[in-house]
Homo-oligomer: A and B are copies of this chain.
Amino acid sequence: MSNFNEILAAAERAKGHICMTPFLNAPDLDQIAGRRVFIKAENLQHTGSFKARGGWAAVSALTQTQKAQGVLALSSGNHAQGVARAARAHGVRSVILMPSDAPQIKIQNTRALGGEVVLYDRAHADRDALGNALTRAQGLIMIKPFDNPMVIAGQGTVGLEIAVQAAEAGLKKADVLVCCGGGGLAAGVALALADQAPHLRARTVEPLGFDDVARSLKAGQIMRNVQSTGSICDAILTPAPGALTFPILQNLAGSGLVVSDDQALHAMALAFSSLKLVLEPGGAVALAAALFDPDLGGDDVIAIASGGNVDPAIFMRALTEFGA
């Protein structure tokens, strides 16, 4: 099981390769939320999302033999870029299995980072079976997007930075809202905060209709989403929490939050006008919850803005529908 020491080790291996992203705030967002809102801007991370951390942690932990075999990643696009970047920097071959409806920007960027992209139909193909077949046929090492201890440890380095930055900002007690697909970022951040800043509590945020983690936490067992497509939050439409991530969340996270696609678009428009940040829908759900969830408590809230890889058409939709 992932633990805090692995997060520290991942942070050590990431030095010089992963940047400490800024911790921002804006008075007009505080006003909308009715409390102080701090934004951890992981969209400014290399590759445009926090996934560069998990990718780096996983690839840098491989043995020489494993590196020579090459790696395979299953990803809607952000994990793809994180793994491709880390693989190239380590001289490792990377094959990336991506859904054919992934945003063009993610497919292009993954290729530009040296990833060999293989596309599949999200609605009909069995991604896991395809991935297993590819790893067997080509002798690749699979790097799962969230249910991998090294990936969780890498994402946990976001939590280490939040602990430091929240202390600098004088935050006492706050919820840390985390955009959540399979729970890799949320689990890593929860582990880091439990050790470094136990007054900060991780809470997952998911899109309406894809609230598997929130329902799983409530039920006390892993629940699955009914549908696999139908939200603009492409980065976080995972079928169910992971076997590794779920127990960590059950142990350390608060109850899960849910926002609508429209709230995610609204948060994107506000990040544009108030923060000057480009967020993708799946990277904006935590900010959306921070701004619009009526049941949120406390004087302060922290939202991780987890990614910014969005096609212009979706971004323009946010500005058209919710721009001032």
Contact = CB atoms under 8 A, between A and B. Distances in A.
Report how many copies the assembly holds: 2
Given A22-B22, A44-B24, A319-B316, A324 B108 contact: yes
A178 B56 CA distance: 34
Interface residues of A, number: 33
Nearest to A45: B276
A276 B308 contact: yes
Contact of A276 (B24, B28, B277, B312): B277
A312 B320 contact: yes
Nearest to A44: B276
Contacts of A44: 22, 24, 41, 275-277
Contact of A273 (B27, B105, B275, B319): B105
Contacts of A279: 276
Given A21-B22, A28-B112, A315-B319, 7 more contacts: A19-B22, A41-B44, A44-B276, A105-B324, A272-B278, A278-B278, A316-B319
20 contacts: A19-B24, A21-B22, A24-B44, A27-B112, A27-B113, A28-B109, A44-B276, A104-B324, A105-B324, A272-B278, A272-B312, A276-B309, A277-B277, A277-B278, A278-B278, A312-B319, A312-B320, A312-B323, A316-B316, A316-B320
